[in-house]
Homo-oligomer: A and B are copies of this chain.
Amino acid sequence: MSATGRPRPGGRTARVRRAVLDATLAELGEHGIDALTVDAVAARAGVHRATVHRRWTDVGGLLADALADAGEDGWIPPDTGTLAGDLAELNRQVHAALVAQPPVTAAVIAAAGRSPQAAAALRAFWDDRYARCAVVVDRAVERGEAAPGTDRQTVLVAATAPVFHHVVLLGRPLDVEQVLAYAALAARAAATGPCTGRDTAGDRQ
């Protein structure tokens, strides 16, 4: 578009998005997900509510875009030198994200049941994060800590899924000892036998 000589259209659009997403997080942090409304977000952002409705549809759409925005970072997985160390750090980060304030991740998960946009945003976010984490397992295979052909996603999900399970589905707080126990368990399983299944976290070795 810049070849036409016109100003890039991203300028105002990007400013509106930034204002709306900042307002979404501020409203979420102050009032919680149950009180989050498109109207309150529009008012706080200084944007007409019709604009917010047209572009984000509903609260699920706002949360989905906030998550997408959070995912557009330069995050790379931990590289501690061991699979056990990497999974432990990964689990700490997953747990921190799930209990973070404002609770963006938790709010998007809660919204996913009624918002296709939120559900799609969650899938895209996890897919991207698991793909970035595939290197954790690849390095473990190179170091001989996991068998060649070990499924990256199987090991990664084995470590992280219990943290989601406790916080999201069981609705129970988790202490750091438990968070690390699941990482240790996955690392030990990878060290003592093949972790097979379908590998969807990256290319099969």
**Which A residues are closer than 8 A to B by beta carbons?**
33-34, 109-114, 119, 122-123, 126-127, 151, 154, 157-158, 160-162, 164-166, 168-172, 175, 177-178, 181-182, 184-186, 188-189, 191-193, 195-198, 200
**Residue of A114, A158, A172, A184 with most chain B CB atoms under a 10 A cut-off:** A158
How many Å lie between the Cα of A186 and that of B2 in the bound state? 55
Per the bound structure, the CA–CA distance linking A195 and B189 in Å amounts to 11
Shortest CB distance A161–B (Å) = 4
- Chain B residue with Cβ nearest A171: B123
A86 shortest CB reach to chain B, Å: 17
Majority-rule SS of A interface residues:
helix
- Would B114 and A170 count as touching, CB distance under 8 A? no
Q: Cβ of A178 and Cβ of B154 under 8 Å apart?
A: yes
Q: List 28 A-B contacts (CB under 8 A).
A: A34-B114, A110-B114, A113-B114, A114-B114, A119-B171, A123-B171, A126-B169, A126-B170, A127-B170, A151-B181, A154-B182, A157-B166, A158-B162, A158-B186, A161-B164, A164-B164, A164-B165, A165-B165, A168-B169, A177-B197, A181-B196, A182-B197, A184-B193, A185-B186, A186-B189, A188-B188, A188-B189, A188-B192
Cβ contact within 8 Å between B175 and A165: no
Verify A122–B164 contact, CB threshold 8 A. no
How far apart are the CA atoms of A160 and B161 in the complex, in Å?
9
Per the bound structure, the CA–CA distance linking A185 and B155 in Å amounts to 9
Residue of B nearest to A156 (CB): B162
A57 to chain B, nearest CB (A): 15
Decide: B161 and A178 in contact? CB cutoff 8 A. Answer: no
Could you tell me the distance in whole angstroms from the C-beta of A111 to the nearest C-beta in chain B?
Answer: 6
Q: Check A181–B154 contact: CB distance below 8 A.
A: yes
Bound together, the chains give a CA A34 to CA B116 distance in angstroms of: 11
Cross-chain contact B178 with A188 (CB below 8 angstroms): no
Question: Are the C-beta atoms of B157 and A162 separated by less than 8 Å?
Answer: yes
Residues of B within 8 A of A110 (CB): 112-114
